Structure 1
Amino acid sequence: MTHSVVIIGSGFGGIGMAIRLRRAGIHDVVILEKAAGLGGTWRDNTYPGAACDIPSHLYSFSFERKTDWSRRFPPQPEILAYLRHCARKHGVLEKVRFGAEVTEARFDEDAALWRISTTGGELEARVLVSACGQLNRPAIPPIEGRDRFAGTSFHSARWDHGADLRGRRVAVIGTGASAIQIVPEIAERAAELRLFQRTAPYVIGKPDRPYRGWEKSVLRAVPGLYELNRARIYALYESRALGFVKYPQVMRLLEKRFRDTLRAGIADPRLREAVIPRYPMGCKRILISSDYYPALTRPNVDLITDPIERVTPSGVKTAGREYGADVIVYATGFRTTAFLSPMKIVGRGGRELNEAWRDGAQAHLGITVSGFPNLFLLYGPYTNLGHNSIIYMLESQFRYVLGCVEAIRRHGLDWIDVRADVQDAFTRDMRRRLRSTVWETGCQSWYMTADGKVVSNWPGFTFAYRRATRRPDPRHFNVRTRAACAPGVPPPGSGAS
């Protein structure tokens, strides 16, 4: 069966895009989800302490406000419950096909259709939207001997809740955003916890607390106050872009917060020295926690900075010694720069997306890829942030994609395909602007490809991105006009758009 729009993924991007399409009168939408439940990264990451590092009133859809968040920074279960609420309230839950992992999507140029193969069957779409995100494919480093470990091991995004850590020797490999939340939680249960650090992160205090009942009541009762509070938080976080992309000296203000957090959390000068990063602040993701540094000072916690040589059946071996372990937790992040992998995406002329991206992912405005008509990416290349809420960026992309879909329908088009020269000009501009950002000051981060190109981040203000994606520019696209309406697609002027 041919559908107007098929969306891959049911996280914030997929659910939000489906809601926007439905509100625009486009109801023939299918969401393909490989798992048994919706939620994307907030479904997958259920490790102890999992929470967002963006304030709750900003980490939510502007069109579905929530005044009763429990805390300033929302925990994982509450975020997942919010997404489920949005899907149910706006009538898109029934649009989700669970257990349908996409293996291939191939564009049929003659029929102007995306022919999609999934583990749950085949289907066709006039428009294909990828809402897979950047944080859904766990990365486990190829450490020698990893498969021979005799104990329990798992990635933080695939937490084994059947593993009882009480009284056990636990090794945590990695010191990124997941690790700084996990370590304080499990340090209270484990007999021994050894944290293996390759690169120290910058950690600043987390100004978190529960919302009081009267605060929730006032936000709910006073017209406009919720929106005003959201705007205040947005402006505060948006101002940090100055330090990331324009004036690195602004980072000194955050460096002071880092020093204050470090001094308050760790008294031992040797341990304090071991957790001081050796790269400019902001080059890697800045992390927030008020209990990570204190957790490192617990008598049952050891920070190991020697490089790992291999994993043995009984633990983790460094150049200095072997550390026994009953459980190994890989808090080693995600494969972030492959974007649509491991799906096979084939566009015009039989060209595969992996081939088109062999020198790094490229997409005009992070949304459209030349040679792949009627394909739209959410949270694609050059749209990640270091300073503000990704939900704001996604809502900008929803509007742009919706504008493209409505143009296809209104003007009776088979397809639209962004011009190669437009995409190339955008990519050159991104590369030029990124060279002056803090992300390209010498460190290796998950923002980069293996050869050192930053392909994930937007080098500017989020309001500038919103302006750039305000509406599709018809001059940016090659188009093919449809001679007659295809099955399943309402004719132009039918009122569906």
Structure 2
Amino acid sequence: MTPQYDAIVVGAGFGGMGAAIELKRLGHHDLLILEREDDLGGTWHVNRYPGLAVDIPSSTYSYSFEPNPHWSRLFAPGEELKRYAEHVADKYDLRPSMRFGVEVTGAAWRDDHWEVTAGGETVTARYLVTATGFLSMPKTPDIAGIDTFAGKVVHTAAWEPTDLTGKRVAIIGTGATAVQLIPELAKSASALTVFQRTPIWVSPKPDYRIPRAARTLFARLPFVQRAVRWLGSSILELMMISGVVHYKQLRIANRLAERWCRTHLHRQVRDPGLRRKLTPDYSFGCKRPTFSNDYFRTFTKPHVHLETATVERIDATGLVTANGRVDVDVLVLATGFDLWDTNFPAFEVIGRDGEDLGAWWRQNRFQAYEGVTVPGFPNYLSLNSPYSYSGLSYFTTIECQMTHMRRLFTAMRARNAQLFEVTRQANDEFLERMRTKVARNSVFSLGQCATAHSYYFNQHGEATLLRPTSTISAHRAASRFPVEHYKYSPIPAEAHRARLNGRRESA
């Protein structure tokens, strides 16, 4: 059978749109983009909680080839990211290829194409790209009695407008999402109890409004905004990345980052007991840090209480810990996402010879060549893969993968081939390189990460999410990897003959 599409892209967030843009540049215009939600934007469509904003400077959080001169703040609010996603989809004519409200439940390789089961039907394509995001499966805490709570329960990834005026509110979780949300909850709740398992490293947030004159300058002289982007990226690389992936060589950068965060905490919280509770006991970088100017200060308000005892159970009216019970009207779950159990991959992917990707990853370590392809899975590009996340901005990862796609498809075309598959030797060598770098250089192996409870680590205790190299190195690898690391082949002759016969008969 002739595949219905050149490629199927699963996910209409920034990753999926970036892949679709690159495929169109490479001449593959017959695309199908499948999205589980009812609109595009991924994270920036699903998340709508109060205080939502990008947690790195906006200038670095966009495609480098499609800068946005209209950000209102240095750290843009969520609705502006959503509008930017819509702008990209419109400018690059992606909407006609998108289907919303369609959940993909499986994909299987069939001789020379992919069969994808989605929304109760089967569609086929020559290439399959999964861009389901790292943070797409909300995690509900496994706490006894949570289903018996009689009040309102809301997860941050499924936010519903709720009037909290005069309400007693509890929030479980103190990750990057909670850091943005907690100050907003405190503005209206009569009492707010924050249940913290693990404190977070928080840096001051230089969240300035971008003057209209500067935005006009960015629009008229794009190179000025590119310079700002380069400066912001360089600072983030030094502060947030170098001291993490190059911890052994640049331990001083890690220590300076810790001191910067400690000073920020000390400036906002004078109570030494409260300060101790809010101070992480793990090394900077073991868990994703974040920025905020009002998170720490919120805990100094009389109606806000920080609870560090473990929640033992939940009943109809509240939460119970070893310190007693807390009665609440609204329970907010800022408990993050289930990365490793349900999101690698997000649905069943069956490759050549019936290989199950999820089972293979769990039996043979989480791995993907250059964070993009997997041996035994021809014509498959997995954008949200082990060792793929490079730098602090997701767009660094996306554009590295787009560059990898360009080099791979160009090499395939030069060989008059339609099928590709990374060799096991190349994949094994890449995996060994990444594991060695993590073990020898990174904070994940050389720092104190045992108490971080970080989603960077999989269920085997390995930090396989982040690529343990600089962003410059990642970009270089994407544009220069040996094309011989892939096997290329034409469509099998028997399939090609059958296809030709089918066309003659239909004619």
Counterpart CA distance in 1 for 2:119 and 2:28 is: 26
**Partner in structure 2 of residue 318 of structure 1:** 321
Match of 1:35 among 34, 37, 47: 37
1:461 to 470, 478, 484: 470
Q: CA deviation at 1:474?
A: 2.9
Which residue of structure 2 lines up, in the alignment, with residue 202 of structure 1?
201
Comparing 406-415 and 90-99, the one that deviates more: 406-415
Offset from partner CA, 1:276-326 (integer Å, 9 cap, x none):
111112111112101001111111110001111011111111012111011
Alpha-carbon contact 2:262-2:279 (below 8 Å) kept: no
Q: How far apart are the structure 1 equivalents of 2:12 and 2:221?
A: 33
TM-score (structure 1 length as normaliser)? 0.94
Number of the residue aligned with 2:375:
370
Query: CA offsets, 1:13-58, max 9 Å, x none?
Result: 1111112222333211111111110011111111111111111111
Q: Measured at CA, do residues 195 and 480 of structure 1 come closer, stay the same or move farther in structure 2, by a change above 3 Å?
A: same
For residues 107-144 of structure 1, what are the alpha-carbon distances to aligned partners after superposition, in whole Å with 9 as ceiling and x for unaligned?
A: 002xx010000015221010101111101111122111
Q: Which residue of 2 aligns with 1:328?
A: 331
| Residue of structure 2 equivalent to 1:236 | 235
**Percent of aligned positions with the same letter in both sequences?**
37
Q: CA deviation at 1:410?
A: 4.5
Asked whether the equivalents of residues 42 and 76 of structure 1 are also in contact (C-alpha less than 8 Å), the reply is yes
> Aligned equivalents of 1:11 and 1:201: distance in 2?
27
**Root-mean-square deviation (CA), in Å?**
1.9
TM-score scaled to structure 2, two decimals? 0.92
- Segments of 4+ moved more than 6 angstroms: none
SS at match of 2:143: coil
Distance 1:486 1:31, change over 3 A: farther
* In 2: Cα distance, 1:399 partner to 1:71 partner: 29
Residue 421 of structure 1: how far off its partner (Å): 1.9
2:489 counterpart residue number: 480
Structure 2 residue runs without a partner (length 5+): 500-507
Q: Give, in whole Å, the separation in 2 of the partners of 1:308 and 1:185.
A: 23
How far residue 342 of structure 1 moved from its aligned partner, in angstroms, is 3.9
Aligned pair in 2 of structure 1 residues 226, 483: CA closer, same or farther (>3 Å)? same
Distance (whole Å) between structure 2 residues aligned to residue 467 and residue 278 of structure 1: 35
Alignment of 1:34-433 (within 5 A): 34-109=36-111, 112-119=112-119, 121-161=121-161, 163-222=162-221, 224-240=223-239, 241-246=241-246, 247-338=250-341, 339-359=343-363, 360-385=365-390, 387-433=391-437
In 2, Cα distance between equivalents of 1:295 and 1:45:
22
SS at match of 1:178: helix
Alignment check: 8 A CA contact 1:337 1:361 kept: no
* In 2: Cα distance, 1:137 partner to 1:483 partner: 38
Number of residue pairs the alignment of both structures matches: 485
Unaligned runs of 5+ in 1: 490-497
Mapped contact 1:51–1:76 kept (Cα < 8 A):
yes
SS of 1:380's equivalent in the other structure is: coil
Change (3 A) 1:311 1:226: same
Partners of 1:420 and 1:407 lie apart in 2 by 18
More displaced, 57-66 or 256-265?
A: 256-265
The CA deviation at 1:403 is: 2.9
Cα offset, 1:461, TM superposition:
0.4
Paired position in structure 2 for 1:449? 458
